[in-house]
Structure 1
Amino acid sequence: MEKKIVLIQDNAEILNLMDDVLTDEGYEVISSLTTEPIENIDIIEPDVVIVDDYIQGSKSGSEVISELKSNPETEDIPTVLSSTSPSLPETAKNCNADDYLEKPFDIDHLIDVVEKNS
């Protein structure tokens, strides 16, 4: 059975690139420019959630991850925060993300991060 990834990014080109790469690696990818998939997380049951810190909507990616990690029903879902921010490691730690992905990223590094956390 394919592992599922919820992928939320702020840029359509990066979203499509990441989706293509991860799909080619055999993952089922639920990708979005908004946090809408998070509303259905209990139905999707992802193996990993990757969220950009700067996303459309009222919440940042770090807030989304913090909420997932503070909910007993979703706290065990591995999460990865992505961003171009120089303070990304600290932000990821503060929101309890399992890992982070600095942008721009190397495609092989993206795959490694997902494999390590799924």
Structure 2
Amino acid sequence: MKKKVVLIQDNKDVLNIMEEVLEDEGFDVTPSLTTEPIEKIDEIEPDVVVVDDHIKGTKKGSEVIKELKSDPETEEVSSVLTSTSFDLPKTAKECKADDFIQKPFDIDHMIDVVKKNS
């Protein structure tokens, strides 16, 4: 069975590249420019959530991860925070993310992080 990834990014081009790469690696990807898939997390049942910290018009990715990690039903879902922010390691730790991907990212590194956490 394919591992499932919920992929939330603030930039359509980045979203498309990440989706394509992860699908090539055999993942079942649910891509979005909003946090909408998080509302349906029970239906999707992802192995890993990759979310950008800065999403237009919605709560921050770190807040999304913090909520997932504080809910007994979703705390087991691996969460990876992505951002261009220089203090990403600190932010990721504070929201209890399992890992983080600094942008701009190396494709191979991104694949490794998602595989490691799925």
Q: TM-score, normalised by structure 2?
A: 0.99
Matches for 1:1-118 after TM superposition, within 5 Å: 1-118=1-118
Q: Distance in 2 between matches of 1:35 and 1:104?
A: 21
Answer with 101-110 or 55-64: which moved more. 55-64
Structure 1 residue ranges, 4+ long, deviating more than 2 angstroms after superposition = none
Shift of 1:57: 2.7
Shift of 1:54: 0.2
Q: Distance in 2 between matches of 1:58 and 1:35?
A: 7
Shift of 1:56: 2.0
Q: Distance in 1 between matches of 2:38 and 2:55?
A: 13
SS in 2 for 1:18: helix
Q: Distance in 2 between matches of 1:44 and 1:61?
A: 18
Q: Distance in 2 between matches of 1:22 and 1:110?
A: 9
Q: Is the 8 A contact 2:35 2:58 kept in 1?
A: no
* Number of residue pairs the alignment of both structures matches: 118
Shift of 1:72: 0.2
Q: Which runs of 5+ in 1 are unaligned?
A: none
SS in 1 for 2:30: strand
